[in-house]
């Protein structure tokens, strides 16, 4: 019995070291009886007392990730990419992000966002539409660009920004003009083209004819935040978000559940963004294997960020990955007396 236990233990050790340790311990308990142990004080090599207890523990791994390490032929966009991890992590119980740094090169005004065109109607009810190039503008440069674009027709328009009130205004003396919002974009949106970014609108109504139109709100000339999504197939995204409400259509929430892994607050254009809010993913049933991660950064509407401006948004982050294992608890004892 002693030799059989040893051979069984040796063969099993190639399969799982923990199982081998348990088998050897049981075999040790059986040896005194097999060797004629009678309980006398002169018996030697006796195990007493012996208690075997196991507990689970987490082993953390710190992993640094850099978007420049991706295969740039396959993933030219750093905001939508996949990276192989330095090793395969097994029985993953938790993953979180402890640091992230992204170079903000996202334009605030782009045709893809639908906020580079301004539409108005002059006193003769002619529709006038001007479109500016994609970019991130200061209040002065945006006012000058729009004034130039609006000066090509019969009526002249001047766009200016007041530093004292923090408001844009559009003036066309002798030409009462209208700025439409609801009739063009509808009531259930939070973005009404370039006019909304200038601070006009706010309430989903059309502005009536006037020679001077003054914005009611501060201009919106920055991209506030973006979201990060990790492996969708591994159910890593646990952050919920609200959605645009329209109670005339539905009394239910238009938000999303378990949509994102975290939210990054952006800095000014050309500066680094480092403030990241996340919900660490804790796996109730450990993830058996993790050897690659897919990173997808999306805008506030959940759309993938594309375009030439996104190509400069390289980033790096530090991940913490926990592997779950089991081993003997502190209360376990295995004492040999001689």
Mean pLDDT of the chain: 84
Q: Return the structure tokens found at 173.
A: 């003396």
| CB burial of residue 46 (10 Å; 0-12, 13-18, 19+) | middle
> Rounded to whole angstroms, what are the CA distances from 124 to 131, 155, 176, 182?
21, 10, 9, 20
Beta bridge partners of 337: 46
Residue 149 has pLDDT above 50, yes or no: yes
CATH top-level class of 57-106+223-243+253-328: mainly beta
Per-residue model confidence (pLDDT) at position 8: 44
Residue 151 has pLDDT above 50, yes or no: yes
pLDDT on residue 80: 96
Q: Which residue bears the tokens 């994102």?
A: 260
Summarised one tens digit per residue, pLDDT across range 237-273 is 999 999 877 777 788 888 899 999 999 999 989 999 9
Q: List residues bridging with 325 in a β-sheet.
A: 57
Average pLDDT over residues 277-306: 93
| Residue (of 69, 87, 86) closest to 78 by Cα position | 69
User: What residue spans define the domains of the chain?
Assistant: 2-55+329-337, 57-106+223-243+253-328, 117-214
The pLDDT assigned to 29 comes to 54
Query: Per-residue pLDDT averaged across 11-15, rounded?
Result: 45
Q: How confident is the model at residue 205 (pLDDT cuts 50, 70, 90)?
A: confident
Alpha helices in the chain (DSSP H): 2-13, 17-34, 139-149, 182-185, 193-198
Residue 28 — very low, low, confident or very high, per pLDDT cuts 50/70/90? low
The residue among 240 and 201 whose pLDDT is bigger is: 240
Q: Which tens digit of pLDDT belongs to each residue from 83-106? A: 999 999 999 999 999 999 999 999
């Amino acid at each position: 019995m002693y030799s059989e236990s040893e051979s069984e233990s040796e063969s099993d050790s190639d399969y799982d070291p923990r199982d081998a340790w348990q088998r050897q311990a049981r075999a040790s308990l059986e040896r005194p009886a097999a060797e004629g142990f009678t309980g006398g004080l002169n018996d030697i090599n006796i195990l007493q007392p012996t208690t075997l207890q196991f507990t689970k523990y987490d082993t953390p791994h710190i992993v640094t990730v850099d978007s420049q390490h991706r295969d740039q032929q396959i993933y030219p966009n750093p905001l939508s990419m996949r990276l192989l991890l330095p090793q395969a992590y097994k029985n993953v119980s938790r993953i979180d992000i402890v640091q992230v740094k992204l170079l903000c090169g996202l334009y605030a005004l782009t045709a893809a966002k639908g906020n580079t065109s301004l539409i108005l109607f002059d006193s003769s009810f002619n529709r006038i539409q001007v479109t500016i190039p994609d970019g991130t503008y200061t209040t002065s440069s945006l006012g000058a660009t729009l004034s130039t674009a609006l000066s090509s027709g019969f009526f002249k328009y001047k766009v200016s920004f007041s530093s004292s009130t923090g408001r844009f205004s559009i003036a066309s003396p002798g030409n009462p003009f209208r700025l439409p919002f609801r009739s063009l974009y509808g009531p259930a949106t939070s973005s009404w083209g370039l006019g909304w970014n200038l601070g006009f609108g706010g309430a989903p109504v059309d502005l009536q004819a006037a020679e001077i139109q003054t914005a009611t709100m501060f201009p919106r000339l920055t991209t506030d935040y973006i979201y990060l999504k990790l492996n969708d197939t591994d159910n890593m995204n646990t952050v919920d978000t609200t959605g645009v409400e329209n109670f005339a259509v539905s009394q239910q929430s238009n938000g999303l559940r378990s949509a994102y892994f975290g939210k990054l607050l952006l800095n000014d254009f050309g500066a680094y963004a480092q403030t990241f809010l996340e919900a660490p993913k804790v796996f109730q049933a450990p993830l058996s294997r993790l050897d690659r991660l897919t990173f997808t950064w999306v805008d506030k509407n959940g759309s993938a960020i594309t375009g030439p401006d996104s190509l400069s948004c390289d980033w790096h982050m530090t991940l913490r990955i926990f592997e779950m294992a089991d081993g003997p608890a502190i209360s376990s004892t295995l004492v040999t007396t001689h």
